[in-house]
A and B are shown apart, each in its own frame.
Chain A
Amino acid sequence: MSAANLVRRIGGRWGSLVSQRGFSTTPTSIIENGAAAEQGVKSLNLYSAINQALHTALDSDPRSYVFGEDVSFGGVFRCTTGLADRFGKSRVFNTPLCEQGIIGFGIGLAAMGNRAIAEIQFADYIFPAFDQIVNEAAKFRYRSGNQFNCGGLTIRAPYGAVGHGGHYHSQSPEAFFCHVPGIKVVIPRSPRQAKGLLLSCIRDPNPVVFFEPKWLYRLAVEEVPEDDYMLPLSEAEVVRQGSDITLVGWGAQLSIMEQACLDAEKEGISCELIDLKTLIPWDKETVEASVKKTGRLLISHEAPVTGGFGAEISSSIVERCFSRLEAPVSRVCGLDTPFPLVFEPFYMPTKNKILDAIKSTVDY
């Protein structure tokens, strides 16, 4: 209940930034599903885009289900509004407060050939289900020699900072799941991306953890096609072309990085910005090609820097581009502390921290 208002409340402060986020309305790779008939577009915020994707998913496959804590009432962030009314209580239902049970149940449901779309109320609460995801979901296909799988399982969870969420309503746990072969991790940056990527995740034959940037639920608004479309997984997108340095990020952090790129441009630095979208398995080629061009790499995420997914990107790119690098790879991330309550502004990888790092990397 609470976080929805929380997001609305900070809306005023950040609302103006949204309109500047030029990249988000120009996706490079939309796959239209079915006939070419354009049903038109509608201006939607991120939670409504997610809601639309869930409507589409349930409508297009009678063997799909949505469940989680309070989802039949619309969920804490309103993402599941109207689903129970339209598709009935047998396909959209509330679960008790029991994350481990929710995911274990989803794995079983998916193993019978269904699409199980589970919601974990906050990414911070995914840990009671960690074992089910890591040991059951991820390895089911492998250890049964492909007899069984839970490819129909998609786990949705809101992640990230919202301004003052404190220790247990703010974390970005994506790196834990990137260490697990057998599952995919996907994070969208905007409404249009969210709808297309979520539909891809739901229909992907592998279990997927889909983290939604709750900061942007109400804040990010863009034109979203009303029809059924999917965006490809494991394809990164160059959302801004540049020649001096490559910036890689995902989710809500993309808009912060975009602002840093704009400021850097004023100082004569040309930044290339890449939205990774799928964290595993990730699109090394797109990042590699960009770094070979610019000779510099900066990665930014909200999760603590040590052991974050930025470390993996850094290491892989150094392996591939060592001789082309003109400066050490830079990481601008959350600090190595628990997510703080009163110190959130210090903790966060802010625009100014990114701008400083861009400059020191370019001047190295």
Chain B
Amino acid sequence: MALSRIASSSSSSVLKPISAALTLRRPLSSDTTLTIETSIPFTAHNCDAPSRSVETSPSELLTFYRDMAVMRRMEIAADSLYKSKLIRGFCHLYDGQEAVAIGMEAATNKKDCIITAYRDHCTFLGRGGSLLQVFAELMGRKDGCSKGKGGSMHFYKKDAGFYGGHGIVGAQVPLGCGLAFAQKYSKDENVTFALYGDGAANQGQLFEALNISALWDLPAILVCENNHYGMGTAEWRAAKSPAYYKRGDYVPGLKVDGMDVLAVKQACKFAKEHALKNGPLILEMDTYRYHGHSMSDPGSTYRTRDEISGVRQERDPIERVKKLLVAHDIATEKELKDTEKEVRKEVDEAIAKAKESPVPQPSDLFTNVYVKGYGVEAFGADRKEVRATLP
């Protein structure tokens, strides 16, 4: 049931060049403008959909390819680290969904804010986080982006407007409205992308967030990363209307092929302009997670292997860009293989470095509970023997 719906949106995958420039043989200058059509049309709700023709360039496509390959490799490496018990706790991987993080970055700047749930590794990397910070955080080390205190679910990057990394499903979305209000107030022409899943879409907080962002015309873009499952529950089992882009009713929405990085870029660019002029918008990104929900979910009990391999074959976001690069003679298969090798090496080096990073000091258990100097006392056994003033 789910399979037909998920695979069908790829049927028209148009990778053919439509711009005259593309008939040129190499060398294409890296900043040549290419115009490429999105895989499928956008579906709009209460707004005019943006054009399917997306402008890009050879260098942008190469960057997309490399950045997504790094994400893919990073998540696969995290999987093995988890299996060898170097990563503990809960860990949710993003492979399959890379085009959403990358396309969104291509349409925003670091003064725009992004806030998401616990599936946050790649969003962090997209905002400019380093592989070392990722792996160190995953392993609970000092060099992690949250000093080893957050773990997989709690990545943040303040200097790039990445507000993280939230564990309670749905809770981050109203926070996004607050960020957007502050942006509007300071008139700095920036917007907030608040990301949530198809499962989270059913939380009451989502509707509260929608109403206040529309009521106050906030530059908030609610991005539903619809990977079609909330843990083991298929979207149609949990949602009367799985057309998430329409669920804002009075808030316009756009359904986007979230496996097509160029479509994501186009949609996010459109959304940013819209939000600055007219207030909130919902973007539903039709995407897919290859891994199970978290590390102990094999991901194969509630969906078929055929469904997963079908998506991999027909809609994989990295393969799509790879085909474009080859078809437009921007890179050869061999060059792309080399890139992959480089990426692999980069990831391995980051892991080696992260392993050397020390675990935080036990005294760090008490820091950051309150503002430094405003601490209260924490007590241990019998309230006398062990006692610390929270720094």
A346 to B369, CA, bound (A): 16
Interface residues of A in 50-88 (CB under 8 A from B): 69-70, 73, 76
- What is the CA–CA distance of A97 and B365 in the complex, to the nearest angstrom? 32
- Asked whether any CB of chain B lies closer than 8 Å to the CB of A305, the reply is yes
A-B contact pairs, 30 of them (CB 8 A): A1-B293, A2-B296, A3-B296, A73-B302, A94-B233, A96-B199, A97-B200, A97-B233, A124-B167, A127-B168, A128-B168, A164-B88, A165-B90, A167-B153, A169-B89, A305-B379, A306-B379, A328-B382, A330-B382, A335-B378, A335-B379, A335-B380, A336-B376, A336-B379, A337-B390, A342-B151, A343-B360, A353-B381, A360-B382, A361-B382
For A69, the chain B residues whose CB sits under 8 A away are 231, 233
Chain B residues contacting A354 (CB-CB under 8 Å) are 381
B33 within 8 Å of A (CB atoms): no
A323-346 contact mask (Cβ, 8 Å, vs B): 1 or 0:
000001011110111101111001
The answer to whether A165 and B89 touch across the interface, beta carbons within 8 angstroms, is: yes
Chain B residues lying within 8 Å of A349, measured Cβ to Cβ, are 381
Q: How far is the CA of A164 from the CA of B82 in the complex (A)?
A: 13
A125: chain B residues within 8 A (beta carbon): 168-169
Picked from B167, B238, B384, the residue with its CB within 8 Å of the CB of A94 is B238
**What residues of A have a CB within 8 angstroms of the CB of B199 in the complex?**
96-97
Q: Are A168 and B204 also in contact (CB < 8 A) when A97-B199, A336-B390 are?
A: no
Most A CB contacts (10 A, CB to CB) among B89, B292, B295, B379 go to B89
In the complex, whether A6 has a CB less than 8 A from a CB of chain B is yes
Q: Is A20 an interface residue (CB 8 A)?
A: no
Chain B, 22-36, contact with A by CB distance < 8 Å: what is the 0/1 string? 000000000000000
* Chain A min CB distance to B192 (Å): 22
- For the complex, give the distance between the alpha carbons of A9 and B77 in Å: 21
Residue of A1, A94, A328, A357 touching B297 (CB-CB under 8 A): A1
Query: What chain A residues lie within 8 Å of B366 (beta carbons)?
Result: 335, 337
Q: How far is the CB of A301 from chain B (nearest CB, A)?
A: 13
Structural contact, A357 and B296, CB atoms closer than 8 A: no
Question: What does the 1/0 interface line of B208-236 toward A look like (CB < 8 Å)?
Answer: 00000000000000000000001111000
Known A-B contacts: A5-B296, A69-B231, A340-B149. Give 17 more (CB < 8 A): A1-B293, A2-B293, A73-B232, A94-B237, A96-B238, A97-B233, A98-B204, A128-B203, A128-B204, A330-B381, A336-B369, A337-B365, A337-B390, A341-B140, A357-B381, A357-B382, A357-B385
A-B pairs with lowest CB-CB distance, top 6: A5-B296, A1-B297, A168-B167, A96-B202, A164-B88, A336-B378
Q: Cβ of A98 and Cβ of B365 under 8 Å apart?
A: no
* Interface size classification for chain A: 35 or more
CA–CA, A4 to B376, complex, Å? 36
Contact of A97 among B89, B238, B293 (CB under 8 A): B238
Does B359 belong to the interface (CB within 8 Å)? yes
Pairwise interchain contact B140-A342, C-beta atoms closer than 8 A: yes
- Asked whether B89 lies within 8 Å of A164 as measured between CB atoms, the reply is yes
In the complex, A76→B151 CA distance in Å?
21
Scan residues 3-44 of chain A and give those whose CB is less than 8 A from a CB of chain B: 3-6
Complex CA distance for A335 and B376, rounded to whole angstroms: 12
Question: Contact size class for B?
Answer: 35 or more
Contact of B153 among A6, A168, A298, A346 (CB under 8 A): A168
What B residues does A96 contact at CB under 8 A?
Answer: 199, 202, 238-239
Tell me the complex Cα distance, A69–B200, Å: 12
Q: When each residue 361-391 of chain B gets 1 if its CB lies under 8 Å from chain A and 0 otherwise, what string results?
A: 0101110010000001111111111100010
> Does A166 contact B365, Cβ atoms closer than 8 Å?
no
Would A98 and B385 count as touching, CB distance under 8 A?
no
**Bound state CA distance, A2 and B203, in angstroms?**
21
A76–B294 Cα distance when bound, in Å, is: 12
Contact A356 B89 (CB under 8 A): no
Q: Is A101 an interface residue (CB 8 A)?
A: yes
How many angstroms from the CA of A360 to the CA of B383 in the assembled complex?
11
Tell me the complex Cα distance, A96–B233, Å.
Answer: 9
Q: Is A100 an interface residue (CB 8 A)?
A: yes
Neighbouring B residues of A360 by C-beta, 8 Å: 382, 384-385
The verdict on B154 contacting chain A, using a C-beta distance below 8 Å, is: yes
Least distance between B300 CB and chain A CB atoms (Å): 11
In the complex, whether B150 has a CB less than 8 A from a CB of chain A is: yes
A74 to B179, CA, bound (A): 39
Q: Does B381 contact A356, Cβ atoms closer than 8 Å?
A: yes
Please give me the residue from chain A that is nearest to B146 by CB atom: A341
B169–A97 touching, CB < 8 Å: yes
Query: Residue of A at shortest CB range from B148?
Result: A342
Residue of B nearest to A127 (CB): B168
A164 CB contacts on chain B under 8 angstroms: 88-89
Contact of A168 among B168, B383, B384 (CB under 8 A): B168
- Residues in B with CB closer than 8 Å to A5 are 295-296
Whole-angstrom CA separation of A349 from B231 in the bound complex: 32
Measured CB to CB, the closest approach of chain B to A157, in angstroms, equals 14
What is the CB-to-nearest-CB distance from B247 to chain A, in angstroms, rounded to a whole number? 13
Instruction: Tell me how far the C-beta of A64 lies from the nearest C-beta in chain B, rounded to whole angstroms.
Output: 23
Flag if A166 contacts B89 (CB, 8 Å). Answer: yes
Q: Name the residue among A5, A97, A337, A338 with the largest chain B CB count within 10 angstroms.
A: A97
**Residues of A close to B200: CB separation below 8 A:** 97
With a cutoff of 8 Å between Cβ atoms, the chain B residues found around residue A342 in the complex are: 140, 148-149, 151, 359-360
CB distance from A7 to the nearest CB of B (A): 10
Q: Are B296 and A6 in contact (CB under 8 A)?
A: yes
> Does A347 lie at the interface of the complex (its beta carbon under 8 Å from any beta carbon of B)?
yes
Residues of B within 8 A of A340 (CB): 149, 365
In the complex, are the beta carbons of B167 and A100 less than 8 A apart? no
Interface 0/1 of A97-141, CB less than 8 Å to B = 110110000000000000000000000110110000000000000
A178 to B200, CA, bound (A): 29
The one of B232, B294, B376, B386 in contact with A70, judged by C-beta atoms closer than 8 angstroms, is B232
How many Å from the CB of A335 to the closest CB on chain B? 5
**When the two chains form their complex, are residues A341 and B151 in contact, meaning their CB atoms are under 8 A apart?**
yes
Could you say which residues of chain A place their CB within 8 Å of the CB of B151?
A: 166-167, 341-342
> How many whole Å from B156's CB to the nearest CB in chain A?
14
Chain B residue contacts of A337, Cβ below 8 A: 365-366, 369, 378, 390
User: Given the known A-B contacts A1-B232, A338-B369, are A101 and B293 also in contact in the complex, defined by CB atoms under 8 Å?
Assistant: no
Chain A residue at minimum C-beta to C-beta distance from B203: A98
Looking at the complex, which one of B170, B231, B365, B384 makes contact with A335 (CB distance below 8 Å)?
A: B365
Q: A1-B232, A2-B297, A4-B296 are in contact. Are A341 and B149 (CB under 8 A)?
A: yes
The interface residues of chain B lying within 8 Å CB-to-CB of A336 are: 369, 376-379, 390
Q: Which residues of A contact B295 (CB under 8 A)?
A: 2, 5
Interface centre among A168, A331, A354, A356 (most CB of B within 10 A): A168
